[in-house]
Amino acid sequence: MNVVALTPLDLVLTALLVLALALLSLPLKLEMFGQLLVAGLRMTAQLLLIGLILKWLFTTAGPWWIVLLSLFMLLNAGREVTRRQKRRLRGWWGFGIGSASMFLTSFPLVLFTLILVIGNQPWYEPRYAIPLLGMLLGNTMNGISIGFDRLLHNVWQQRQVIENRLMLGQSWFEALAEIRRESIRAGMMPIINAMMAAGIIVLPGMMTGQILAGSPPLEAVKYQIMIMFLIVAGAGFGTVIAVYLGGRRLFDSRQRLRLERLS
């Protein structure tokens, strides 16, 4: 493949655009100057580090190193699920539910794809396994984070309505029915929008990257279709699991709403 190599100067030129945006945020009083700089530096450091790790994995590492890297990615995604939520479950529950939901969806989907769809030998080849897992975890994390945030926010806002339903004899599952549906829809909306816009409004990132790297366009399109289907399944199933487990956590064994479990 004929790939045009980027120099450090090329990256600096694009970074100047983010710096310009950060400087513009000062007179506009957006309070985003520090956030943009920190996010840019953190993103650069993280991607350079993962690039070095992947280079080593692709050439020398065995399956157990791939497992360790996958678990590290999962735990960090679980931590990110609740970091920017206004309302969150106390203790480790938000992290635990987010991580469990992603594990129960992303990992089986990656195994399904590697073994039955791609069929590469060995099936755990990191060139396929790590990028697939990364894309699934990232999008599933977004869906779970949005759905979880909507669930906890609405429960707090509608706590009196929920308690009235419980007093009328409804179970916790029935009392949360509408909030649960709205939360799941909110979590799935970004990926549905991405599917609707793919190919007409936007060219998805994976397909664009493959084309820039020299892959035939139709082959890149087929991989992108596969990825989009996997992402929808991961985000959808993950959001359903997280919203259900999060909702159950807000009630005790006697099906009483326990708002003290929120912070």
Query: CA-CA distance, 262 to 247, in Å (whole number)?
Result: 11
Using the predicted structure, report yes or no on whether residue 2 has a pLDDT greater than 70: no
Using the predicted structure, report yes or no on whether residue 143 has a pLDDT greater than 60: yes
Using the predicted structure, report yes or no on whether residue 77 has a pLDDT greater than 60: yes
CA 28 to chain centre: 30
What digits encode the pLDDT tens for the residues 118-131? 888 888 888 888 88
Examine the domain organization and report whether 77 and 161 are in the same domain: yes
Say what the pLDDT of residue 263 is.
77
Query: CA-CA distance, 232 to 196, in Å (whole number)?
Result: 12
The share of the chain scoring above pLDDT 90, in percent, equals: 46
What digits encode the pLDDT tens for the residues 211-224? 777 778 888 888 88
Q: How far is CA 31 from CA 37, 44, 87, 210, 226, in A?
A: 12, 22, 22, 37, 40
Asked if 179 contacts 243 with a C-beta cutoff of 8 angstroms, the reply is no
Domain boundary among 40, 60, 80: 60
Domain boundary among 19, 44, 60: 60
Examine the domain organization and report whether 120 and 241 are in the same domain: yes
Examine the domain organization and report whether 67 and 28 are in the same domain: no
The CB density around residue 147, as the number of other CB atoms within 10 Å, is 30
Question: The tokens 């159950």 sit on which residue?
Answer: 248
Q: What's at 258, amino acid-wise?
A: R
| Domain total of the chain | 2
Q: What's at 58, amino acid-wise?
A: F
Domain boundary among 11, 34, 60: 60
Looking at residues 1-8, what average pLDDT do you find?
73
Asked if 101 contacts 82 with a C-beta cutoff of 8 angstroms, the reply is no
Query: CA-CA distance, 142 to 72, in Å (whole number)?
Result: 18
Using the predicted structure, report yes or no on whether residue 43 has a pLDDT greater than 60: yes
Examine the domain organization and report whether 80 and 54 are in the same domain: no
Examine the domain organization and report whether 125 and 207 are in the same domain: yes
Say what the pLDDT of residue 61 is.
62
Query: At 198, is the secondary structure helix, strand, or coil?
Result: strand
The share of the chain scoring above pLDDT 70, in percent, equals: 98
Using the predicted structure, report yes or no on whether residue 3 has a pLDDT greater than 70: no
The CB density around residue 232, as the number of other CB atoms within 10 Å, is 17
Measured over the CA atoms of residue 193, residue 196, residue 202 and residue 206, the dihedral's sign is positive
Examine the domain organization and report whether 156 and 206 are in the same domain: yes
Domain coverage including residue 26 = 1-60
pLDDT bin (cut points 50, 70, 90) of residue 17 is very high
Examine the domain organization and report whether 237 and 225 are in the same domain: yes
Examine the domain organization and report whether 193 and 106 are in the same domain: yes
Asked if 76 contacts 236 with a C-beta cutoff of 8 angstroms, the reply is no
Looking at residues 99-114, what average pLDDT do you find?
93
By the 10 Å C-beta count (0-12 exposed, 13-18 middle, 19+ buried), 32 is classed as middle
Examine the domain organization and report whether 152 and 221 are in the same domain: yes
Examine the domain organization and report whether 145 and 134 are in the same domain: yes
How is residue 182 written in tokens?
A: 């709205």
Looking at residues 5-25, what average pLDDT do you find?
91
Query: At 4, is the secondary structure helix, strand, or coil?
Result: coil
How is residue 202 written in tokens?
A: 């936007």
